[in-house]
Amino acid sequence: MIHQVNRYKNQLGTLARGIAATMALGCVLAAPVHAEDAKTIAATVCAACHGEDGNSLVPMFPKIAGLQETYIVKQLRDFQAGRRKSDIMAPVVAALKPEDFFALATYFSAQKMKAGESGDKKLADLGKLVYYDGNEDSGLPACIGCHQAKGDGHLIYPRIGGQHATYLTQQLKNFAVSERSNDVSRFMRVVAKRMTEEEINAVAAYLADQGAK
Ligand code: HEC
Ligand code: HEC
């Protein structure tokens, strides 16, 4: 990952030097820069489903605003390589280049994931217990151990606080039956298999309320 980030930085460095040289010659700059590309791709391609700032309004389309940069790049790569299966995302990423992944990740991770609507308060309270304590009886680890307080996430552990409950529920069910299997070290498959349906719904209700108010 660090290697790739460095390579990307090198590419940007080369691009910047190229731009400087072009400007020095007094030419009009025609070549687009990656950050602008990302904004254009976001507005013309991603916005239709995820919203222009990444706060999708449709529960089955995940919010991607404020997701960790590292995590976004990994998911886009996994969709492209078929490690994460999605009939919807596969054709979207097919035409994208690795440098687009980094630029898009930078753009969307800089946005803020907005908190969802309060759902069932009792269910959300139960979900909070699951999130912070896990379940000793079934050996379910606490989510906070990896996803941080309020589902803020960190590096490879994605932000889940503020995400649509419908999407969270679906992903946990997918992990439980290994329908989604792109989690390194099987972290999430192990976790989700130990969850009851009630725990899944409860933790999703709790998380949907987090995020930026
Ligand atoms: C036609 C609708 C659609 C479009 C257009 C689309 N997406 Fe998606 N995206 C989805 C769906 C649906 C999923 C969830 C896939 C699944 O079920 O696992 C998803 C998942 C993702 C994820 C993973 C989110 C997570 O929390 O794991 C990322 C990142 C993402 N999309 C980025 C993008 C980017 C960047 C673009 C624009 C280049 C884009 N998407 C365009 C529908 C779309
Ligand atoms: C041992 C660390 C660990 C623990 C504990 C853990 N997770 Fe995760 N979780 C991860 C990692 C790593 C990923 C990203 C997988 C990938 O790269 O696709 C993830 C991804 C997820 C996703 C998918 C997010 C998305 O945007 O698609 C959900 C939902 C999730 N975790 C929920 C939970 C819940 C709920 C708990 C507690 C019951 C929990 N996790 C506990 C490590 C963990």
Give me the torsion for CA of 202, 203, 205, 207, rounded to 10°: 170
59: which 2 tokens? 């529960």
Q: What is the pLDDT of residue 180?
A: 98
CB 134 within 8 Å of CB 192: no
Which of 179, 39, 73 has the alpha carbon at shortest distance from 81?
73
Residue 67 CB contacts under 8 Å (≥ 6 apart), including other chains: 54, 108, 109, 113, 153, 158, 159
Q: Could you identify the atom of ligand 1 that is nearest to the CA of residue 96?
A: 38
Spatial neighbors of 58 by CB under 8 A, at least 6 apart, are 49
Mean pLDDT computed over 197-204? 98
Where on the phi/psi map is residue 210: left (φ > 0), alpha (ψ -120 to 50), or beta? beta
CB 212 within 8 A of CB 66: yes
Residue in 61, 64, 175, 187 to alter for ligand 2 test, most ligand atoms within 8 A of Cβ: 187
CB of 47 shorter than 6 A to ligand 1: no
Ligand 2 pocket, residue 171 CB under 6 Å: yes
User: What pLDDT, on the 0 to 100 scale, is given for residue 33?
Assistant: 54
Joined together, the tokens standing for residue 66 give 């404020």
How far is Cα of residue 59 from the mean position of the Cα atoms in its chain?
15
CA dihedral sign of residues 192, 193, 195, 197: positive
Give the Cα separation of 147 and 160 in Å (integer): 7
Residues 151, 173: Cα–Cα separation, whole Å: 18
Query: Cβ distance 66 to 54 under 8 Å?
Result: yes
List the residue whose alpha carbon is closest to atom 31 of ligand 2: 188
Residue from 70, 155, 188, 193 to probe ligand 2 pocket by mutation (most atoms less than 8 Å from CB): 188
Residue from 160, 182, 210 whose mutation best tests the ligand 2 pocket (most atoms within 8 A of CB): 160
Q: Give the pLDDT band (50/70/90) at residue 26.
A: very low
Q: What is the pLDDT of residues 136-186, one digit of tens each?
A: 999 999 999 999 999 999 999 999 999 999 999 999 999 999 999 999 999
| CA–CA separation, 59 and 180 (whole Å) | 18
Chain segment 74-119, per-residue pLDDT in tens: 999 999 999 999 999 999 999 899 899 999 999 999 999 999 876 7
Asked whether 113 lines ligand 1 (CB < 6 A), one says no
Q: CA–CA separation, 209 vs 211, rounded Å?
A: 7
Residue with tokens 């379910």: 140
The CA 188 to ligand 2 mean position distance, Å, reads 5
User: Ligand 1 pocket, 156 CB below 6 A?
Assistant: no
Cβ of 63 closer than 6 Å to ligand 2, yes or no, is: no
Protein residue whose Cα sits closest to atom 15 of ligand 2 = 183
Is the CB of residue 40 less than 8 Å from the CB of residue 146? no
